[in-house]
Amino acid sequence: MRSSIGRRTTRIAGAMTLAVCISTILATGARSQDKHSDNINRPSSRLEREVGHELRLLPFFSVFDNLAYRVDGYNVELLGEVTRPTLKSDAEAVVKNIEGVEHVTNHIKVLPTNSVDDELRLAEYRAIYGQAVLNRYGLQAVPPIHIIVENGRVILEGVVASEMDKNVAGIQAKTVPGVFSVTNNLQVEGK
């Protein structure tokens, strides 16, 4: 008698476990279906993530380039400044290939090529990323402080962890000889 009670208890426990597993799978499927329908109703959030991801993966995107974008429905507007004309066309091509993008407007500016600006870029890089407080940013694949130099004028773009880091970067950028002006457009995370 004890063995039949043990088998019956095992069967009941197995059935309950199966029921719990099935209800968990059904609930998970319903949640993922809801998330999918949210993405269909809000194409910009998905497109924004994909556009940003694809732009960051461009092979010649560097600390001396600034790529920005706006997503309006299924239309993408590319903005920023780059040092290579091929980067401008590559950015447009990669964004056009993203599923759901219907139109791309490319307002990326190609910076003029001159040796003075090239020297200032390197000097700015050394001044900013060589500073002890900021050198940790230089260890990333694409450092987050972008240094845009055009005709001796410097613009800092990107995101840093603190207001202090933003201020130190601006001060360091101003120490480079030959720079006419520095505009610090760095954003602080979470603000």
Supply 167's token pair. 């201020």
The helix/strand/coil state of 103 is: strand
**What CATH number belongs to 115-188?**
3.30.1340.30
Q: What is the pTM of this model?
A: 0.74
The reported pLDDT for the residue numbered 190 is 86
The reported pLDDT for the residue numbered 18 is 43
The reported pLDDT for the residue numbered 64 is 96
pLDDT by residue for the chain (191 residues), tens only, comes to 555 555 555 555 444 444 444 444 444 443 333 333 333 334 568 889 999 999 999 999 999 999 999 999 999 999 999 999 999 999 999 999 999 999 999 999 999 989 999 999 999 999 999 999 999 999 988 899 999 999 999 999 999 999 999 999 999 999 999 999 999 999 999 87
Structural domain spans, the chain: 1-41, 43-110, 115-188
d(CA 71, CA 42): 11
Q: Do domains 43-110 and 115-188 have the same CATH topology?
A: yes
Radius of gyration of the chain (CA): 26
The reported pLDDT for the residue numbered 122 is 97
**What CATH number belongs to 43-110?**
3.30.1340.30
d(CA 91, CA 55): 6
